[in-house]
Amino acid sequence: MRNIRLVLEYDGTGYHGFQAQDNTALPTIQGELEGAIETICREKLRITGSGRTDAGVHALGQVVNFHTRSTVPTERFPAALNSVLPRDIRVKEAEAVPLDFHARFDAVSKTYVYLVDNRPLTSVFLRNYAYHVSLPLDVGAMRRAAELLVGTQDYASFRSSGSSVKTSVRTIYEFDIQESEACNGIIKFKVRADGFLYNMMRNMVGTLLEVGLGKFSVEDVAAILAARDRRLAGPTAPPCGLYLVEVEYPSSR
């Protein structure tokens, strides 16, 4: 028995999220990948993902693992799986890991990026990959507000309903907002944390965009965070601009 860790990238536009849906034919990343593994390994098995991205959310560095008795060489998995996967899902890396490795529970941090197209007119080619906000945004104010979200805090104000986690306390290690020099008008929100609540990233971005539009002040964000009340925060930004960029593990894993 081997435990194989894969690193994936995918365009989530045509999928109903990462997690396979029971009793439905809706396409998911997990369903497509498990089908490809069954074809290559001749085993029907379940994969474990580092997290569940929602419908329309993309990934550059999603991590999964699965146990297999297959004799396919580890280094052959990317090419073999990519030969049968849809073109909008790619396996980038494969590695044999200890049998007790768990893609979700062993993760120590995740990095997400959210892209906003802040030009008056957007490109048709960005409609599924960035959120278009046509009005000017005050990036400086958004940066000052984002600084308030860094640290170990209770992020209940940025958690959507539908999650059964026991605590809404998380640690955000960094929250950067950058304006792309290569593509004028693209604003990148980058957050690295030890974990994320349901829709936490999209809710934080939606709230900061309200700051950028002048609807919230920086001080309002401090009050929203302290209140631990989702109703006070901004709207949930749409999924198209969100990317799971990286999942980190202890060096021993």
| pLDDT given at position 182 | 61
CATH of domain 2-97: 3.30.70.580
> What is the domain partition of the chain in residue ranges?
2-97, 109-248
Distance CA 192, CA 158 (A): 16
The 10s digit of each residue's pLDDT in 41-56 is 999 999 999 999 999 9
pLDDT at position 183 over 70: no
Helices 218-227 and 139-147, axial angle in degrees (round to 10): 30
Distance CA 248, CA 111 (A): 8
Q: How confident is the model at residue 225 (pLDDT cuts 50, 70, 90)?
A: very high
| pLDDT given at position 25 | 82
Q: How confident is the model at residue 22 (pLDDT cuts 50, 70, 90)?
A: confident
Q: How many other CB atoms sit within 10 Å of the CB of residue 58?
A: 24
Domains 2-97 and 109-248 share a fold: yes
> Tell me, which fold does domain 109-248 have in CATH?
Alpha-Beta Plaits (3.30.70)
- For 99, counting Cβ atoms within 10 Å of its Cβ (0-12 exposed, 13-18 middle, 19+ buried), the class is exposed
Q: How confident is the model at residue 37 (pLDDT cuts 50, 70, 90)?
A: very high
Q: Yes or no: say if 89 and 24 are a contact pair by the CB < 8 Å rule.
A: no
How high is the mean pLDDT of the chain? 95
Note if 54 is an active site residue: yes
Tell me the mean pLDDT in the region 107-125.
Answer: 95
The 10s digit of each residue's pLDDT in 60-84 is 999 999 999 999 999 999 999 999 9
Which residue type occupies 69? Answer: R
Tell me the mean pLDDT in the region 96-109.
Answer: 97
The residue from 11, 54, 154, 194 that is catalytic is: 54
Q: How confident is the model at residue 253 (pLDDT cuts 50, 70, 90)?
A: low
Tell me the whole-structure pTM to 2 decimals: 0.95
